[in-house]
Amino acid sequence: MKSAVTYPREKTKLSSEAIFWLAFVHVGALAAIPFFSWSALGVCLLLLFTISPIGVTLTYHRMLTHRAFRVPKWLEYSLATIGALSAQGSPLQWVAGHRVHHQFADTENDPHTPRKGFFFSHMGHLLVQSTQTTEDWMKYVPDLSSQKFYQFLHR
């Protein structure tokens, strides 16, 4: 019988980059209040309902993580670029993390385990940075990391 793949529990540290980015976005949103316009709100909503469901849910999750469907390469790369606009990391980072999540779902090895609480599993994991190297994570996405386009988006 083949032994199960194990994923060593990684050490994490607070990510100053993630904290800075989240603070910047929220301060920027507050600073934009005096410049409110309905057209700007419309653009904001259009981007919100394009980037998240199409870029992240459809592309990062269903197409790249689970390979639930295939599209021509030009469309796959276009959709992955929309996903990269979500500020949730490159397709390589997101897909690797999500594949690890599915491999170790709801255990201590899950990168966003609910065992650490509701906040951590939904947002808190975004504020920590893995101490593992990029090479450690890339073993979970050999199908994507071999493509120059995804390497470009990752950089």
Amino acid 3: pLDDT: 36
Amino acid 16: pLDDT: 82
pLDDT tens for each residue of 83-113: 999 888 889 989 998 998 888 888 877 888 8
Amino acid 131: pLDDT: 62
The contacts of residue 113 (CB under 8 Å, 6+ apart) are 104, 106, 107, 120, 121
Amino acid 11: pLDDT: 56
Mean pLDDT computed over 124-137: 72
Amino acid 57: pLDDT: 94
Amino acid 8: pLDDT: 47
Question: Taking the model in full, what pTM does it have?
Answer: 0.81
CA distances from 40 to 36, 52, 142 (A): 7, 18, 40
Mean pLDDT of all residues belonging to the chain: 86
Higher-confidence residue: 32 or 15?
32
